[in-house]
Amino acid sequence: MKRPVAVVGVGQTQHASRRSDLSIPGLVREAVDRALADAGLDYGDIDAVVMGKAPDQLEGVMQPEQFLAGALGAHLKPLIRVHTAGSVGASTALAAVTHVASGLFDRVLTVAWEKQSEGNAMWALSPNLPFTPPLVAGAGGFFAPYCRAYMARTGCPPHIGPMVAANARANGGRNEYAHLREPMTVEDVLQSPVLWDPIRYLETCPSSDGACALVVASEEQAKKGPRKPAWVKAGYSYAEAMWVPGRDQVSPQAGRLCAQKVYEKAGIKDPWKEIQTVEMYVPFAWFEPMWLENLGFCDTGEGWKIVERGEQKMGAHLPVNPSGGVLCTNPIGASGMLRLGEAALQVMGRAGEHQVEGVHNALGHAYGGGAQYFAIWLVSDAL
Amino acid sequence: MAKLRNVAVVAFSQAPIVARDEHRIASEILYPEVRSALDQCDVERAAIDYQVAGSADYIDGRPFGFVAALDVMGSWPAKQDLHLEMDAAFAAYYAWVRMQAGDCDTALVCGYGKNSEGEPERVLNLELDPYYQAPLGLGPSATAALQASAYMARTGATDRDLAEVAARNRAAGAKNPCAQLREAVPAGTLAATPWVVEPLRRGYLPPYGDSAVCLVLAAEGKAERMCDRPAWIHGVDQRIEMQTLGARDLSRSAGAQLAAEKALAMAGLGSGREVDVVEFCATTPAEELILREALGIEAGDSAVVNPSGGPLCGHPLMMTGLIRLGEAFRQLSGRAGAHAVPNVGRAIAHAAQGHCLQQNLFFVLGRERRWT
Amino acid sequence: MSEPPKEPVKYVEANVRLPYHYVAGDYRARYLRALKDKKILGSKCSKTGKVFVPPLVASPESFAPAEDLVEVADRGVMTTFCIVRIPVIGRNVELPYVAASVALDGADISIFALIQECKPEDVRMGMRVEAVWKPDGERQGDHEDILYFRPTGEPDVPPASFLNRL
């Protein structure tokens, strides 16, 4: 990065299974208006717009950034649209950071969203590849075998997933914007039906309508206030091929490399010690221990033990997903940006009821595809 | 004007555009172009530190269609990567921005997608807002016709004028082995083709075809080692306008005009006339006339427009704009073969997407570095 | 002209119907046609010799072309699996069923396959499985020529030999 970049505004919608009170532009504006207000800026102050979302088949509109250009205040401005599957919200935020880092733009609006209630999400997420037998419905069917492989590799016991899910829901209860906020117990989860063994219904993410918007800006702009910014110390997005023999789908190389690069750039030597909270993309509860390992917070095989000891709960050593994460809210296109935005809120000290104490460094993470795309940033309260 | 990092196009490879590739899926068409582009600059895949692509799920006919391209782009070990749901020219734009940020020195830019598998005329209707415009059933031919009609009403341009623009493009395309339509057709013949949506005749509309392209960008310090005659980027700008067809003056392209102005200013040029070649991403003759006006070049000017034949000779959709950049590179680096324009010192490459030239991107390029 | 609505219009319904005619590509087409003869083909990396099933035009690992087609066995090891309890669009399979990654003997990547003739609770990672083909005369040269995979009864394969072929 040629020059420092900061998050100066964060906005998100009230996430829900169906926002039938708003059209698509209305949904996006709810988040954008909030982010701009948060940043103390107006549409006219924005130099460029970077929009991201997941497959257009989810809403039945191709390249919707085109019809949204007016609503986004992008008329006669530069705009790009990112799409990197589930990680898109995060890679979109990172592309916006690059715009500012380049020196060519001082204030960039970035927004990621999904209004998937308006299409058929299950259909859109089932891999209907031509000349290939259809085998599983939904993303869970694809990932379940790898969750099972994690359990086999590490001896992870069957109550870990339910512990993650119950904890995520407790966190969601402290996040006014989350979709799912009702508490549930480990027992509730264990009683819920198995969808794709070993994944149970209450260990899966919901399908949500929602949007997240950020304003990222130059140092000069960030120092003008009105709020304490979150400095983007490092951010990278990586992708790996699918059909590589021996590819580790439990702890993908792209995730490990991406995290290592972020830590190196940000000067983090020991993530477990130096990072106070992490918002990671956990759509199925079993990914929490898997990502703790993939992100280098612990050695291989130790991730589930962190969960068992409760060290990733609020108030413990490394609160994971204080916002409730994807398990509480999943507008697919927005989820990645929500992770990065929530990490920013944590270092800005503005996470309200789900604020973690004493956050200096927060990690935001998202993944997508057949666990191929990873986008991660580290934000700090100091430059 | 601040001093920027010199970045050049150092390689470009394109699968000849065909109406329908019966033998290969999209990623299989892309693979040889990636290899060929790397061979052109005589480097291994590992030497490229960034990759970015452009394609669209609705063209691929399935969600996440672009993921398959990772496997043929050399994404192992894992690479820093991005994918845009846009014409791959915008992927090149983003790679250039990234180089300005100092976050990469070389980039592989890919465009792919098989338009023959779907029906673009129907698919592109979905680009329109789903509440008011898409339900009217407008496809790209209809909206382009609205724009052509508006342009003709304002300027008095005639059917014959459109035919002549189309004929010039077709004649140029006849010399381009990568074009889909490689037969010169006289204006009179084109003007006798049936109406598709008046005032646009069959002969004034682009053929949708299959192709894949790979372009390599490199910053100063690397570019010189990768290409004997790099095409240096002197200026870049892109602008989107609001989509609502009734809310803008369709007879002009305000966005193209602004983007051209900014790109030219960055390049230190006073006007679009100061270049030798212009490649417009104009899918109809009316679009070309509107873009000429936006760029400030007139029929009599010396700049040669669309020596490749332009989109009227081949329109593989999600990469048509990137091909314009590739063609500008070919002209500047002496690699344009039979369709080469002599003594090209400066060129402009334009990309557009969305109905009625809604979004426009201009690159200004030259034989020498812009900033020293 | 009907009466204007008393309530503001809240929903706009749009049915999107788009026809797509896909080309299998020569590699996939040859793979499918070979199924008619109970043959499973893969492509071989020209640099490393690794075999990809179904055939890929290039190795995603080495980036080298993989132009030679070779035959692999119609049996192999189940590297991992899940038990599916929700129906999938486009297929009539009795629930619950087992969907598994199967590394065929001779192949270096796995295919995703349906497992039958086995109770879901008896399925294990490392189980040897074999293809069950449609009878002679009924095979068409498409992916339905393999009905499913079933356990062979051979001893399980130790984890070390398949955990890297997920």
A200: nearest CA in chain C? C85
Q: Is the overall model pTM greater than 0.95, yes or no?
A: yes
C-alpha span between A362 and A346 (Å, rounded): 7
Using the 8-state DSSP alphabet, how is residue A317 labeled?
Answer: S
C-alpha span between B332 and B344 (Å, rounded): 6
In the predicted structure, residue A250 carries a pLDDT above the cut 80: yes
Q: List Cβ neighbours of B206 (8 Å cut-off, separation of 6 or more).
A: B283, B284, B311, B312, B314, B315
**CB proximity B243 to A under 8 Å:** yes
**CB proximity A122 to B under 8 Å:** no
Paired residues of A149 in beta bridges: none
Write the secondary structure of A248-314 as one string of H (helix), E (strand) and C (coil): CCCCCHHHHHHHHHHHHHHCCCCHHHHCCEEECCCCECCHHHHHHHHCCCCCCCCHHHHHHCCCCCC
Provide mean pLDDT across the span B89-118: 98
Provide mean pLDDT across the span B196-219: 98
Could you tell me the pLDDT band of residue B89, with boundaries at 50, 70 and 90?
A: very high
In the predicted structure, residue A375 carries a pLDDT above the cut 80: yes
Q: List Cβ neighbours of C43 (8 Å cut-off, separation of 6 or more).
A: C27, C51, C52, C55, C56, C57, C66, C67, C68, C69, C70
In the predicted structure, residue A383 carries a pLDDT above the cut 80: yes
Alpha helices in chain A (DSSP H): 24-39, 65-68, 88-101, 121-125, 138-154, 160-172, 186-191, 219-223, 253-266, 271-274, 287-294, 303-308, 332-348
Pairwise pLDDT comparison (A138 vs A262), residue with the higher score: A262
Partner-chain contact C20 B61, CB within 8 Å: yes
C-alpha span between C107 and C127 (Å, rounded): 16
C-alpha span between A342 and B283 (Å, rounded): 43
Which among B56, B62, B84 is the nearest to A129, CB-wise? B62
* Helix or strand run (H / E) with residue B99: helix B88-100
Residues of C in contact with A196 (CB under 8 A): 82-86, 99
Q: List Cβ neighbours of C59 (8 Å cut-off, separation of 6 or more).
A: C45, C46, C47, C48, C50, C52, C65, C66
Could you tell me the pLDDT band of residue C82, with boundaries at 50, 70 and 90?
A: confident
Mutate to test the interface with B, among C15, C22, C62 (most CBs of B within 10 A): C22
**CB proximity B325 to A under 8 Å:** no
Provide mean pLDDT across the span A78-90: 97
Pairwise pLDDT comparison (A141 vs A249), residue with the higher score: A249
pLDDT of residue B107: 98
B44: nearest CA in chain C? C63
Mutate to test the interface with A, among B122, B243, B362 (most CBs of A within 10 A): B243
Task: Specify whether the CB–CB gap between B362 and B348 falls below 8 A.
Answer: yes
At A173, list the tokens.
């209860």
pLDDT of residue B239: 98
At B28, list the tokens.
């299989």
Residues of A in contact with B258 (CB under 8 A): 76
Give residue-wise pLDDT tens across range A130-166.
888 877 667 888 899 899 989 999 999 999 999 999 9
Which among A128, A148, A193 is the nearest to C85, CB-wise? A193
Paired residues of A197 in beta bridges: C83
Backbone φ, ψ for residue B113 (5° rounding):
140, 140
Q: Which of A121-135, C71-85, C106-120 has the lowest mean pLDDT?
A: A121-135
Distance from CA of B30 to the nearest CA of C (A): 11
Give residue-wise pLDDT tens across range C9-55.
888 888 889 999 999 999 999 999 999 999 999 999 999 999 999 99
B120: nearest CA in chain A? A62
C-alpha span between B303 and A243 (Å, rounded): 48
Partner-chain contact B240 A79, CB within 8 Å: yes
Provide mean pLDDT across the span A60-80: 97
Give residue-wise pLDDT tens across range A191-224.
999 999 899 999 999 999 999 999 999 999 999 9
Our CA dihedral for A304, A305, A306, A308, rounded to 10 degrees, sits at 90
In the predicted structure, residue C1 carries a pLDDT above the cut 70: no
Residues of B in contact with C25 (CB under 8 A): 23-25, 28
Mutate to test the interface with B, among C11, C12, C17, C20 (most CBs of B within 10 A): C20
Amino acid letter for position B295: L
Paired residues of B53 in beta bridges: B83, B110
Using the 8-state DSSP alphabet, how is residue C94 labeled?
Answer: P
Residue linked to tokens 């983090």: A268
Between chain A and chain B, the number of residue pairs with CB atoms below 8 A apart is 186
Residues of A in contact with B84 (CB under 8 A): 80-83
C15: nearest CA in chain B? B135
At B303, list the tokens.
């700049």
Q: Chain-wide mean pLDDT for chain B? A: 97
**CB proximity B251 to A under 8 Å:** no
pLDDT of residue A225: 81
What are the DSSP calls for B236-254, one per residue?
A: EEEEE----GGGS-TTS-H
pLDDT of residue A1: 81
Distance from CA of A108 to the nearest CA of C (A): 33
Q: Which of A299, A227, A197 is nearest to A8 (CA)?
A: A227
Give residue-wise pLDDT tens across range B155-175.
999 999 999 999 999 999 999
Could you tell me the pLDDT band of residue C136, with boundaries at 50, 70 and 90?
A: very high
B125: nearest CA in chain C? C16
C-alpha span between A68 and B84 (Å, rounded): 16
Provide mean pLDDT across the span A335-356: 98
Q: What value of ipTM does the predicted structure carry?
A: 0.97
Could you tell me the pLDDT band of residue A127, with boundaries at 50, 70 and 90?
A: low
Provide mean pLDDT across the span A26-54: 98
What residues in chain B have their Cβ under 8 A from chain C's Cβ atoms? 20-25, 27-28, 31, 45, 58, 61, 70-72, 74-76, 114, 116-119, 122-123, 126, 130-131, 134-135
Partner-chain contact C23 B20, CB within 8 Å: yes
pLDDT of residue A297: 98
Give residue-wise pLDDT tens across range B312-333.
999 999 999 999 999 999 999 9
